[in-house]
Structure 1
């Protein structure tokens, strides 16, 4: 899985599953369920005040109970898969974002 990150909003702006070996109709809902995918339109991954970790961990919550922008609504019947996505984004963002923060201006001006 890969995800987009937008520095201006300090948010995840989408996910793409590269390889999926989940049960069709269940685990594959992480790519087919529009409501689940919408969790990643602007998922809050802001850093804390000293830029050493996320201000709030990305966490999975029971479907329909999302109240914060760093929460991911689970998929009924695919809780394990949706939890794996939330945990992967959290782990990655916790590790990478503090490392790239000092270089964002330089990276934004870089040519592909």
Structure 2
């Protein structure tokens, strides 16, 4: 599964995802694209960099459907847990790598002239 995501520095959160490529079982794994409640996980999914600036403050994880308690958790789709966890793992791995490098540069990026 290949996913793109949008990051908003004002809320320090992921504000959307787009599945670019997927080979999941129709009717099950493809719910990560079609299930409105699952997609809502990414309206403001917390992705804050820790005080040391070297990782996320909290890992992005998928939790059992209905068990979400924290803003960095993804409420998994019942019956599509593997796909939900794959997206969480991919987002976490990417954000853990990219955001600590990009966030310190945001003032320069935002002040750049086109």
Is the shorter-chain TM-score for this pair beyond 0.5, marking a shared fold? yes
Q: Give the structure-2-normalised TM-score.
A: 0.94
Looking at structure 1, the residues matched to 56 and 34 of structure 2 have their Cα atoms a distance apart, in angstroms, of 28
- 1:51, CA displacement in angstroms? 1.0
Is 1:37 the counterpart of 2:39? The answer is yes
How many pairs were matched up?
112
Looking at structure 2, the residues matched to 108 and 82 of structure 1 have their Cα atoms a distance apart, in angstroms, of 33
Structure 1 segments, 4+ long, off by >6 Å, are none
The residue correspondences of 1:1-112 to structure 2 (distance < 5 A) are: 1-110=3-112
Mark the runs of 5 or more structure 1 residues left unpaired by the alignment: none
Looking at structure 2, the residues matched to 63 and 109 of structure 1 have their Cα atoms a distance apart, in angstroms, of 41
98-107 or 56-65: which moved more?
98-107
- 1:21, CA displacement in angstroms? 1.1
Q: Give the structure-1-normalised TM-score.
A: 0.95
- 1:105, CA displacement in angstroms? 1.4
Task: Tell me which protein shows more strand as a share of its residues.
Answer: 2
Mark the runs of 5 or more structure 2 residues left unpaired by the alignment: none
